[in-house]
């Protein structure tokens, strides 16, 4: 029971039995987490009565048959791999066309790390690019 004088257990039982709530009880449900959970559970347990007409399947089949469309087969292009190869080739060409001091082992290691990161990124994005 909270300080508003409403018994949570009794209110939750009333919601479970699908009784109508008073204005004060509704205000309490808005403030109390346990009662809100019980109200949501009771609301989700209510299922509407649905009746399906006897000729529903026939009407659905009549609507669906003439509207069937053929799918166009497209060949996916490996844009991710192509982009990775081009970016790595440009990076290596620019790097090794510079002065000899840039061609040290540290520079080579840096270029290889950047190249592998670019290739991994392009291959990771490749499937997303192929769907466009």
Give the domain ranges of the chain: 8-45, 79-130
How far is Cα 3 from Cα 6, in angstroms, rounded to an integer? Answer: 8
40: tokens are: 């949501």
130: tokens are: 């192929």
pLDDT by residue (tens digit) across 14-66? 887 878 888 888 888 888 888 888 888 888 777 778 888 898 888 888 777 66
The answer to whether 12 and 34 have CB atoms below 8 angstroms apart is yes
Closest alpha carbon to 14 in 38, 46, 47, 32: 38
pLDDT by residue (tens digit) across 66-98? 655 666 666 666 776 777 777 777 877 777 777
Give me the pLDDT at residue 96, please.
72
DSSP 89-116: HHHHHHHHTS-GGGGSHHHHHHHHHHHH
| All residues at 6 or more sequence positions from 35 whose CB lies less than 8 Å from its CB, including other chains | 8, 11, 12, 15, 28, 29
Block residue for tokens 């000729």: 55
């Amino acid at each position: 029971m909270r300080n508003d004088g409403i018994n949570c257990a009794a209110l939750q039982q009333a919601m479970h039995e699908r009784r109508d709530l008073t204005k004060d009880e509704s205000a309490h449900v808005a403030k109390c987490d346990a009662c809100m959970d019980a109200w949501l559970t009771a609301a989700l347990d209510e299922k509407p009565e649905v009746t399906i007409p006897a000729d529903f399947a026939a009407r659905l089949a009549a609507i669906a048959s003439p509207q069937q469309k053929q799918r166009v087969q497209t060949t996916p292009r490996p844009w991710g791999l192509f982009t990775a190869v081009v970016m790595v080739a440009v990076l290596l060409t620019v790097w090794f066309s510079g002065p000899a001091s840039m061609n040290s082992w540290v520079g080579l290691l840096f270029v290889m790390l950047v190249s592998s990161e670019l290739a991994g990124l392009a291959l990771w994005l490749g499937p997303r690019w192929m769907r466009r």
